[in-house]
Amino acid sequence: MSHWLQIVVATPAHSAIAGPLTYRSALLLRPGTLVRVPFGRREVLGVVWQVLPDSGGMPEASIRDIAGVLDGLAPLSSTWRRLVAFTAGYYQRSLGEVALAALPPQLRDLTTLQLTRRLKRTVVDTSHPQDTTDLIALSAQQACAIAEFDAETSEKQRPALLFGATGSGKTEVYLRAAAKVLEQDPEAQVLVMVPEINLTPQLQARFEARFAHLGRERVVPMHSGLTPAQRLKGWLAAHSGQARLVLGTRMAVFASMPNLRLLVVDEEHDPSYKQQEGARYSARDLAVYRARLETRDREHPHGACRVLLGSATPSLESWQATIVGRYQRLNMNERIGASPAGQPGGLPTVRRVDMNHQPKHCVIAPPLLAAIGERVARGEQSMIFLNRRGYAPVLACHDCDWKSDCPHCSAYRVFHKIDRTLRCHHCGFTERVPRACPSCGNIDIAPVGRGTERLEEHLAELLANVTRPDGGPVRIARIDADSTRLKGSLESQLASVHAGEVDVLVGTQMIAKGHDFRHITLVAAINTDSALFSSDFRAPERLFSLLMQAAGRAGRDAQRSAASEMWVQTFHPDHPLFEALKRHDYPDFAEQQLAERQAAGLSPFGFSALIRADAKTQEVAQGFLNAAAEAAQTQQLPGHAHVMAYPAVPMTIQRVANIERAQMLVESPSRKALQGFLAAWQPLLFETRRQAEFKSLVRWAIDVDPIAI
């Protein structure tokens, strides 16, 4: 007897195959079962999505048989499938693309026989549980936050936003919330998400120590930095329920966890939670949606699946949700062991340096340089933050105005002095630095502007006469994407900072988030003004968040917090953003920004999508978008009366790797209207793509709820 199955496979992006395909099986398989099926000339992994009563009118001879079943794996849950289906629909991608991308790469390549062998090697932990680590005493605010989170009535069970200052002990709240869930239900699972891979190891060590009593391999990581074998091992542990706690980056939101009871999203404001390739999903938003699905789809003996978002500078969307009551807000505005002599809550004093009154062309203001010298002399550490890696943004000839532009992109190649190269940070094109100007032959070509590499060198010159308490010279270290390329280099450099072997740490935003540097008492931000006047409406929010996070690296040791400082160099010291930063007043900053956004109909009061097109020429890219928008207007698609499509424009970096890029902004005051319009627009985009004049179009993509415009 034959059974007819709808099976989801990974289809090429923008192919006409968006949904499941029909296959035949001699066995009746449950939805969620993983199978191997023929697809074209290949055999690929598929997920059984639905069992059909018949062939659906298709000629039986044209329906192919499945190639095999991945025995030994329980089917993916209905909740997981609903999450995938929602993601594909909301973010306007194919079902198969999202479903298969959510599975570990090695699983997609294994045959049924290989998987059987792999499962036999899986060792189930039978070790004797270890003793629980001693719990630290909670602060009054931590205890209050935990009590309020637990007291949320079962009728509401709203998402909770833990609004906690840097150093206030948010991680301990996460640990306590997770511990309670795991103690209440011996099968319960917890998912904890962090924005950056480099934050995972230190957090993993802390969670493993706290939950060592559960046994080995109960806390597993899940991020793209793992090897394929490690990712598969972690996924299998989560899918089987063996892993009680999964710690991962945005991809972990799709982890198959059949007994998920708590989702924690640390630093929920971070842009890293938004995927920028393929299905451009927001892992934070999907975490909130998944918790709702988990609660709705099955009855938990100990209550609903909760979601706990945490940040010192929440996204304005989450903050507005607490204002209108959709989210519960938990406040922790004081650092652990805050000194009453310092700023309110033990936070560092913010000092604004008006660069209009400093020597012309100076990079480090004299007062700031003196403050750094004083810290070095006292045996304390300083951190200098500049969000631009490399030695200099551009190499230039002042005779003929030649600049080190990239031949493949509308951007400059960055000068990296350490290996004497010009490197494009967009397409990767790299060349050795020329001996003379390629245009006029002038040998006097010079760097313009500063990156972290040049800043490190400049600081060494400025601090040459400063000595440490032991009489030794100043030790300066740099941490950015260039200095941490080799495996293990980031960990070793961070260890040097923690051990006190570094006096001045220079780096990009990599060092501004999440790290617990106990000996840093001064943080300085260089070149902060560019975001103040950006065309991207989210730029001030990102700048304020980054500066607040950077400030949070200073004075984390309670004995030093009273003397900790955050220095900000700016030509606009009276800007409202810096006024709010000086007071560590996120609510005031949020109130200003929300008022501006409401007046302009921007998120969270309006909804938007970006349609991006890549082509050989800018004319084709823009022409495709404008033609598709005109077709949508002509056909009066659903929701068109409440949707505004602006004319196509070049992207900020309009050419990358010899591909021209354009974008079109689509806005609506109604999320429902926008979603209906985008869904109906997809077929028109396909039709427009097939027109002769757009043959050179390379690709197009829809970005729903974009974080950068």
Residues annotated as binding site for Zn(2+)?
397, 400, 406, 409, 424, 427, 437, 440
Q: Decide if 234 contacts 220 (C-beta within 8 A).
A: yes
Could you tell me the two tokens for 91?
């973010």
Using CA atoms, how far apart are residues 568 and 571, in angstroms rounded to an integer?
Answer: 10
Closest CA to 390 of 476, 482, 459, 462: 482
Could you tell me the two tokens for 651?
């992207």
- b or e along 549-576 (b: 16 or more beta carbons within 10 Å of the residue's beta carbon)? bbbbbbbbbbebbbbbbbbbbbebbebe
Alpha carbon 265 to chain centroid, angstroms = 11
Using CA atoms, how far apart are residues 148 and 163, in angstroms rounded to an integer?
Answer: 13
In the three-class reduction of DSSP (H, G, I as helix; E, B as strand; rest coil), residue 340 is classed as coil
In the three-class reduction of DSSP (H, G, I as helix; E, B as strand; rest coil), residue 682 is classed as helix
Q: Decide if 564 contacts 348 (C-beta within 8 A).
A: yes
Sheet holding 3-9, edge to edge: 21-25, 3-9, 42-52, 34-39, 68-69
- Alpha helical stretches, state H, 71-139: 78-90, 95-101, 105-109, 112-120
Taking residue 44's Cβ as centre, other Cβ atoms within 10 Å add up to 19
Using CA atoms, how far apart are residues 452 and 708, in angstroms rounded to an integer?
Answer: 24
Could you tell me the two tokens for 293?
């699905």
Binding-site residues from annotation: 397, 400, 406, 409, 424, 427, 437, 440
Using CA atoms, how far apart are residues 250 and 195, in angstroms rounded to an integer?
Answer: 7
Residue type, 560: R
Q: Decide if 614 contacts 659 (C-beta within 8 A).
A: yes
Using CA atoms, how far apart are residues 248 and 259, in angstroms rounded to an integer?
Answer: 17
Using CA atoms, how far apart are residues 356 and 436, in angstroms rounded to an integer?
Answer: 35
Taking residue 143's Cβ as centre, other Cβ atoms within 10 Å add up to 13
**DSSP secondary structure code for residue 418 in this structure:** G
- Calculate the alpha carbon distances from 6 to 30, 78, 397, 580, 611 in Å: 11, 15, 63, 55, 30
Could you tell me the two tokens for 311?
């940040």
Write a three-state SS string for 524-550: EECCCHHHHHCCCCCHHHHHHHHHHHH
- Calculate the alpha carbon distances from 635 to 628, 641, 687 in Å: 11, 12, 13
- Residue in the structure block whose two tokens are 């605010």: 141
Q: Decide if 637 contacts 681 (C-beta within 8 A).
A: yes
- Residue in the structure block whose two tokens are 């209906």: 676
Could you tell me the two tokens for 492?
């070793």
What's the half-sphere exposure (Cβ side, CA atoms, 13 Å) at 355? Answer: 17
